[in-house]
Structure 1
Amino acid sequence: MRKTLFTITYLLIFTIFGVQCTFFEREIKKENFWENPVSFDLDEIVKRGYIRAVVDNSSTSYYIYRGRRMGYEFEMLRNLASSLGVRLHLIVKSDINEAFYLLNRGKADIIAMNLEVTEERKQYAAFTEPLGQMGTVLVQKNRNSRVTDFKDLDNKIIHIRKDAVYKAQLCALQKEQGISLAIIEEKGDSEYFVNKVVKNEIDFTVVDRVVGLVNATYYEDLDVSLEVSPKSDVAWAVRTNALDLQSTINDWLAQKNKTGYINMLYAKYFQNSKNSYFRSNSPFSSVGGNNISPFDGLIQKGAESLGWDWRLLASLVYKESRFDTTATSYAGAVGLLQLMPVTLERFGVEDPHDPLQSLMGGVNYLRYLDKFWRERIPETNERIKVILASYNIGHGHVEDAWKLAIKYGKNPQNWESIAHFLKLKSDPEYYKDPVVNLGFAKGHLAVNYVDDIMILYDSYRVLIEP
């Protein structure tokens, strides 16, 4: 009876999913978003001040560990952005088709997902020089019934990532071996499917060989010995009309290959399996858990009293102290939120190394700043950025920038206007203006400080549940 039920179930699934070997092609051709891509090349990116890249959330690509952003693609992209003199904004997606859409619509500038370079994909984007080569493997449990020959996959169900190259590979394998496969495509990154195999929710999936090997070091009962496709070139994608960006990335890759930087990063994330396992399975990893730090409970309590998303407050704490209760700055600021002695005394912090006292002292200071700016900047999101700048450089300097915005006819309730004049507070024409009370300030550092926190907060929002 059970066997009959399985057979019926299989036939039903096969009827729905098993003849989908042209599904990706059909779906993409329904929407011509790859034609006439947005014209936005390197000069415009540099002028804008940041570059946007699509990445995966995985233990090899991009993840959060103890509040810190990590990953092979992340570190590569951060280095590239630094060489271009721009900031890095990341977009986390698992849907490859959506990544191509964002790229060609100008919502992203790079797809950094180690895409296999195929003739079909060259319709949708231009590719950089190869970053390396990757094959693909079948992932299954290491048990007596494991598949050791492709013929044994006949009438089996394989779950794979939607819009990846794996489906085309399996369809070719099906034709070559004369077998019937039910291929089920779902949204999710590779490690999502590996975890489903680990939990016995599915029997088989296909992933990049290097991802399979890394996960096999985490889970001893995984088998990744059966190679679905041999190694082929993988690269990043840019818009077909972003030729300057493509050329610049290629030059950067050539230089980084010469210095050994790329090999060093590859070893860090793909060959040092013990460290990768520890980071990925830590409760303070966005891959292995949903915690940012050991102080999440305290941060949530403080954020509640502020009316903030706790992940925003966590971003501030990370920026200030890296969650180190013993951190002390050169200027004498101490504790989780790096309060100066005069601020500690003002807000009743007796032991700055006590995480609760330190955090709540900083929260009380933030509440004071919120009260100071509330009437002047009613909109919460704009006010939060002004509060963060005030926390960094002092609300007096930010108030000077606010006054300059009013004087020059800009919107004083808009952070961008205030940030513009805050950066100008190192220019005598502005810091000697009669409306300015506190004079010279390195305001650009405070603006960068706010940007850093908001970028980190964006990552926490995507990778850590509320």
Structure 2
Amino acid sequence: MRFIKGLALATTVAFAPWLVGCQKEPALSPALQAIKDSGTLVVLTRNAPTTHFIDRDDQPIGFEHDLVKDFANTLGVDVEFRLRHTITEIQNELDAGTAHLAAAGLTRLESRTENFSFGPGYYEVQQQVVCHRAGAQPRSLEDLVGLSLQVIGGSSYEERLTQLRDTEYPELTWDADPSLSTELILQKVWEKQIDCTIADSNIVAINRRYFPELSVMFPLNEPEELAWLLPKGADELGQALHAWYEEANAAARITLIAARYYAHVEIFDYVDTARFIRRIDERLPAYQALFEHAGEKYGFDWRLLAAQAYQESHWSPTARSPTGVRGMMMLTLRTAGELGVDNRLDPAQSIDGGARYLANLRSRLSESITEPDRTWIALAAYNVGMGHIHDARALAAHKGKNPDSWLDLREVLPRLSQPDYYRHLRYGYARGSEPVHYLRRIRNYEDILGKQLTLREEGGTP
């Protein structure tokens, strides 16, 4: 995955998904001044992990959501997100003039240029053929012939398949269902209801962590850019959008937002992910109440603490490292003593002690560091030590980067193992790459855990 730079956050969201489809929306003026006068930018999007969803604090977030908020902030207006289930619904409503733009993970298609114009490309994806690792294993387009293949109707996937059928593979067949989302079709592949599907690489990267048996077979096209759709004639809005993008791109804000949603999913390890999902059932129930109690006591989401503990010990209370750290949260003997933990192998003491230590590290950070960076940097300090975090922050500032940003710190931390840098730092040498990998894995485990728990609550069988 390669992102095309650009974006920050602001404004409020008028979010009322229960009103979707209740009444016909009036047409809106696409004129820029009319939008500013109304104080609201109306945006069509989808409810999905790559676009717009509600987080654990019941707040709307998502890659597309955050980009739109940044654009709206430059206009000085709020955003009304209207969630729609299908691409067809989004295109029909935008064509009817009931929204100002669509930000829903859509690619530039020739078929869409008749009714819409495009904003600048802001993220690069590639269509991938995805199947079940224990099912059909096509290695080429010829191998897709005869398989049960399903995609979203009216999507870029269907358009690409149609081009291939009409030019090279006349026997290629598929089912196109406009009522389904890419995420639901990927789940159908995982459940072995169908053989394969087509999905954009960013959607696959997110969802194969929840359904690890999904396997990428081969790309279906060259990389292409995602872009927002605007109604024909929305020239002023389009100009404002391009001007915003140029400024946001120069400031590299899109890098920060993209990293928030994609940086921790870049590396996929099937064996590790499948093992983790099994252990959610096999090991976690014995300790979940301890994580919940510690999370409430010290101000952390319990799933984050559980993810950290899995990274530390794989939820084994008797874990030991070659350096002598022990227990569920892998406390050193010295740290355990300072925390009053007299038995590191006792899960209750270890989890409480680890959470208390993490909270202490978080409290020692500069007040200028805000969430979620504050918790992420505290986790890095848990792994590498607060002294090296101080060094990394100083180095980041020296390099003209933001010492309060985890995104910038993760760039400079690996330099702590390089003599040209560490010999000039107060705390000297450190394996600076370790906290970067440490935090990436914790965030990955936390996301997977949250999804698996949701599936169980909904009666699914992950």
**TM-score computed with the length of structure 1 as normaliser:** 0.50
Distance of 1:276 and 1:248 partners within structure 2: 38
Alignment check: 8 A CA contact 1:125 1:238 kept: yes
Distance of 1:61 and 1:276 partners within structure 2: 21
Cα shift readout 1:84-128 (whole Å, capped 9, x = no counterpart): 111111011132222122223232111102322122211111111
Cα shift readout 1:117-148 (whole Å, capped 9, x = no counterpart): 12221111111111132210111101263212
- Which residue does the alignment assign to 1:102? 93
Give the alignment partner of residue 125 of structure 1, picking from 116, 122, 135. Answer: 116
Cα shift readout 1:11-44 (whole Å, capped 9, x = no counterpart): xxxxxxxxxxxxxxxxxxxxxxxxxx86431111
Q: Give 1:262 shift.
A: 0.5
Q: Give 1:325 shift.
A: 10
Amino acid at match of 1:40: P
- Structure 2: 5+ residue runs without aligned partners? 1-26, 278-288, 290-294, 300-456
Alignment check: 8 A CA contact 1:57 1:93 kept: yes
Give the alignment partner of residue 63 of structure 1, picking from 29, 43, 53. Answer: 53
- Which residue does the alignment assign to 2:177? 185
Alignment check: 8 A CA contact 2:132 2:213 kept: yes
Give the alignment partner of residue 159 of structure 2, picking from 139, 145, 168. Answer: 168
- Would the alpha carbon gap of residues 131 and 244 (structure 1) be closer, same or farther in structure 2, given more than 3 Å must change? same
Give the alignment partner of residue 32 of structure 2, picking from 42, 48, 72. Answer: 42
- Which residue does the alignment assign to 1:239? 231
- Structure 1: 5+ residue runs without aligned partners? 1-36, 283-293, 295-322, 328-463
- Which residue does the alignment assign to 2:63? 72
Cα shift readout 1:372-395 (whole Å, capped 9, x = no counterpart): xxxxxxxxxxxxxxxxxxxxxxxx
- Would the alpha carbon gap of residues 236 and 274 (structure 1) be closer, same or farther in structure 2, given more than 3 Å must change? closer
Distance of 1:325 and 1:244 partners within structure 2: 52
Distance of 1:324 and 1:108 partners within structure 2: 41
Alignment check: 8 A CA contact 1:56 1:189 kept: no
- Would the alpha carbon gap of residues 324 and 237 (structure 1) be closer, same or farther in structure 2, given more than 3 Å must change? farther
Distance of 1:249 and 1:224 partners within structure 2: 34
- Would the alpha carbon gap of residues 222 and 275 (structure 1) be closer, same or farther in structure 2, given more than 3 Å must change? closer
**Superposition pairs for residues 357-396 of structure 1, below 5 Å?**
none
Alignment check: 8 A CA contact 1:109 1:239 kept: yes
Helix, strand or coil at the partner of 1:139: strand
- Which residue does the alignment assign to 1:135? 126
Distance of 2:93 and 2:163 partners within structure 1: 29
Give me the identity figure in percent. 21
**TM-score computed with the length of structure 2 as normaliser:** 0.50
Cα shift readout 1:419-464 (whole Å, capped 9, x = no counterpart): xxxxxxxxxxxxxxxxxxxxxxxxxxxxxxxxxxxxxxxxxxxxx9
Helix, strand or coil at the partner of 1:114: coil
Alignment check: 8 A CA contact 1:113 1:236 kept: yes
Distance of 2:238 and 2:77 partners within structure 1: 16
Does residue 113 of the first structure (1) align with residue 104 of the second (2)? yes
- Which residue does the alignment assign to 1:272? 264
- Would the alpha carbon gap of residues 99 and 276 (structure 1) be closer, same or farther in structure 2, given more than 3 Å must change? farther
Distance of 2:110 and 2:266 partners within structure 1: 37
Amino acid at match of 2:105: N
- Which residue does the alignment assign to 1:221? 213
Alignment check: 8 A CA contact 2:47 2:84 kept: yes
- Would the alpha carbon gap of residues 122 and 148 (structure 1) be closer, same or farther in structure 2, given more than 3 Å must change? same
- Which residue does the alignment assign to 1:297? none
Q: Radius of gyration: which is bigger?
A: 1
Equivalenced residue count is 252
Helix, strand or coil at the partner of 2:194: coil
Alignment check: 8 A CA contact 1:55 1:93 kept: yes
Distance of 1:86 and 1:159 partners within structure 2: 40
Alignment check: 8 A CA contact 1:39 1:241 kept: no
Alignment check: 8 A CA contact 1:167 1:183 kept: no
- Measured on the aligned residues, the alpha-carbon RMSD in Å equals 3.1
- Which residue does the alignment assign to 2:245? 253
- Would the alpha carbon gap of residues 178 and 276 (structure 1) be closer, same or farther in structure 2, given more than 3 Å must change? closer
Alignment check: 8 A CA contact 1:57 1:189 kept: no
Distance of 2:70 and 2:201 partners within structure 1: 25
Distance of 1:104 and 1:198 partners within structure 2: 35
Helix, strand or coil at the partner of 2:225: strand
